[in-house]
Amino acid sequence: MKLRRKILTASLAATIIGLSACGGGGDDEATAPVEDSPEFEAGTTMAELAEQGSIVVGTKYDQPGFGLENLEGELEGFDVEIAKIIAAALGIAAEDIEYMETPSAVREEVIEDGDVDLVAATYTINEERALRITFAGPYYQAGQQIMVLTDNDTITGPDSLMENPDAIVCSVTGSTPSQNIQEYLASPEQLVLFEEYSLCADALTNGQVQAVTTDNVILAGFVSGSDGEFKLVGEQFTEEPYGIGIEKGDVAFCEFINETLAAAAESGAYEEAWETTAGMIEGAELPELPEPAPCA
Ligand code: GLU
């Protein structure tokens, strides 16, 4: 496995020490067997990648359970395992995947620029993004929630933010939660945006912000690593279907990914990918692979 860092973040080391709760991933083999010399129609992305024998995957490096760089410098998480399953179907072993750190705001850009072959990074499928890239999947369905310090009993969910105008909410630039939360705020100044969720978690610890908002599964990873410092409040208030981002219009690659995901659900590789990563976080429930959306 090779790691490439798109953007360096100072807080990463602190995050890893505090939050490396999951065991799965790293340089381990994929949960699906690596195909032996699979054949693909000439000219397709699949044929190109299989021939090359390697693939570049954009993912997160600071999100426990989905994409986290561990103390050995390896990546672990459900997104990483999903990427390995796709690579394995192309005949590419886990050690031949090159990872590139891909914070929320640059996901479309790295696909458009051809810096990565795919993005697996807690990436909500939505219409605006689908104007620039193609989504395979969904492979998971998350929902937005709110995280606060355990001793905070004034913020109880999104509806309590308006009544607490001095409470600052943190989210990430270029994310859907940073947009969805706006209608619940007393003023735009109540929202602060960082580049990564681990920076929001640090700011919550430091008292610089009073709430963090993003997908429930990302927050659950931070809660689990916080030793009782953080808690989730309120119900999830959006739907966030996670897709695999690929080059706009590559329908054949999209359909191949959807078939690969369906086969992984059938074989148990999808379940194992979950159980060894995000599934280890307290309260996590085994998902069922959602029905694929049309490839466009
Ligand atoms: N799923 C949401 C999104 O794609 C939030 C998580 C993230 O920023 O990666 O924007």
CATH number at residue 83: 3.40.190.10
Give pLDDT < 70 ranges for the chain: 1, 4-27
- Please identify, by atom number, the ligand 1 atom nearest to the C-alpha of residue 178: 10
Residues 13, 136: one domain? yes
Residues 152, 130 share a domain = no
Same domain, 137 and 149: no
Could you tell me if 244 and 119 are in contact, meaning their C-beta atoms sit under 8 angstroms apart? yes
Tell me if 286 is assigned to some domain: no
State whether 44 and 114 are in the same domain: yes
For ligand 1, residues with CB inside 6 Å are 104, 121-124, 172, 175-177, 214-215, 218, 240
Q: Is residue 209 part of a domain?
A: yes
- Fill in the amino acid letter for 225: G
Residue whose CA is closest, atom 9 of ligand 1? 122
Ligand 1 atom nearest residue 122's Cα = 9
Same domain (yes/no): 68, 105: yes
Could you tell me the distance, in angstroms and rounded to a whole number, from the CA of residue 94 to the centre of ligand 1? 25
pLDDT digits (tens, 9 = 90+) for 217-270: 999 999 999 999 999 999 999 999 999 999 999 999 999 999 999 999 999 999
Which SS3 state, helix, strand or coil, does residue 158 take? Answer: helix
User: Which amino acid would we find at residue 245?
Assistant: G
In a domain, 293, yes or no: no
Amino acid letter, 129: R
Sign of CA dihedral 136, 267, 84, 196: positive
Q: Do 218 and 143 form a contact (C-beta atoms < 8 A)?
A: no
CA–centroid distance, 175 to ligand 1, in Å, is: 5
Instruction: List % helix, strand, coil for the chain (3-state, nearest 5).
Output: 35, 20, 45
Q: Catalogue the E-assigned strands of the chain.
A: 2-4, 55-59, 62-63, 67-69, 75-76, 97-101, 118-119, 133-142, 144-149, 169-172, 191-194, 211-215, 230-233, 240-247
Supply the range of the domain harboring residue 27. Answer: 2-141+241-280
Strands 144-149 and 211-215: antiparallel
Atom number, ligand 1, closest to the C-alpha of residue 214: 5
* Cis status of the peptide bond prior to 290, with omega within 30 of 0: no
Output the pLDDT for position 4: 67
Q: Does any domain span residue 11?
A: yes
CA 160, CA 154: separation in Å to the nearest integer?
A: 7
DSSP state of 249: T
What pLDDT sits at residue 7?
44
- 292: in domain: no
| pLDDT given at position 101 | 98
CB 145 within 8 A of CB 237: yes
Same domain, 199 and 52: no
Q: Using alpha carbons, list the distances in angstroms from residue 50 to 66, 107, 249.
A: 25, 23, 20
Residue 274, domain member (yes or no): yes
Asked whether residue 137 falls in the same domain as residue 267, the answer is: yes
Predicted local distance difference test score (pLDDT) of residue 5? 59
Ligand 1, atom nearest to 121 Cα: 9
Task: Give how many domains the chain has, as a whole number.
Answer: 2
Protein residue with its CA nearest to atom 8 in ligand 1: 175
